[in-house]
Amino acid sequence: MSKLTFSIGGVHPRDCKPAKDKAIELLPLPETMYMSMAQHLGAPAKPIVAVGDKVKTGQVIAESAGFISAMVHSPASGTVKAINPMPDIAGRMVPHIIIDVEGDEWVEGVDTGEDIVSEIPQDSLAMLERIKACGVVGLGGATFPTHIKLNPAPGSPKAEALLINGSECEPFLTSDYRLMLERPKRIIIGAAIMQQILGGPKCSICIEDNKPEAVTSMRNALAQLGYPDMEVVRLKKKYPQGSEKQLIQAVMRREVGSGALPISVGAVVQNVTTAYAVYEAVQKNKPLISNIMTVTGDCLPVEAQHNYEFRIGMPLSYIAEYAGGVPKAAAKIVSGGPMMGKAIANLDAASVKGSSSLLYLKHKTTKRLVEQACIRCGHCADACPMGLEPFLLNRLYKAGNRLDELEKHAVQDCIECGCCLYSCPAGIPLLDNIRIAKQQVMSAMRARAAAAKASAEANAASETKAEAKKQ
Run of H or E residues at 430: helix 430-470
Count the domains in the chain.
2
> Are 376 and 333 contained in the same domain?
no
> Are 294 and 411 contained in the same domain?
no
Give the residue numbers spanning the domain of 438: 368-471
Answer yes or no: are the C-beta atoms of 419 and 385 closer than 8 Å: yes
Q: Which residues pair with 169 in a beta bridge?
A: none
Residue 400 lies in a domain: yes
Q: Which of 350, 367, 384 is the last residue of a domain?
A: 367
- Cα–Cα distances in angstroms (integers) from residue 53 to residues 37, 62, 73, 79, 155, in the given order: 17, 13, 14, 6, 44
Query: Which pTM does this prediction carry?
Result: 0.94
Residue 220 lies in a domain: no
Q: Is 347 helix (H, G, I), strand (E, B) or coil?
A: coil
> Are 398 and 284 contained in the same domain?
no
Nearest Cα neighbor of 353 from 245, 280, 429 is 280
pLDDT, residue 328, reads 93
Count of C-beta atoms within a 10 Å radius of residue 380:
28
> Are 329 and 463 contained in the same domain?
no
**pLDDT, tens digit, 9 for 90 and up, residues 29-65:** 999 999 999 999 999 999 999 999 999 999 999 999 9
Q: Report the residue count for the chain.
A: 471
Nearest Cα neighbor of 247 from 213, 220, 208, 219 is 208
Residue 356 lies in a domain: yes
> Are 293 and 399 contained in the same domain?
no
Q: Which of 367, 401, 424 is the last residue of a domain?
A: 367
> Are 267 and 305 contained in the same domain?
yes
Q: Which of 345, 367, 389 is the last residue of a domain?
A: 367
pLDDT, residue 1, reads 44
Return d(Cα 375, Cα 63) in angstroms, integer. 52
pLDDT, residue 469, reads 80
> Are 171 and 269 contained in the same domain?
yes
Q: Write out residues in the chain with pLDDT < 70, as ranges.
A: 1-2
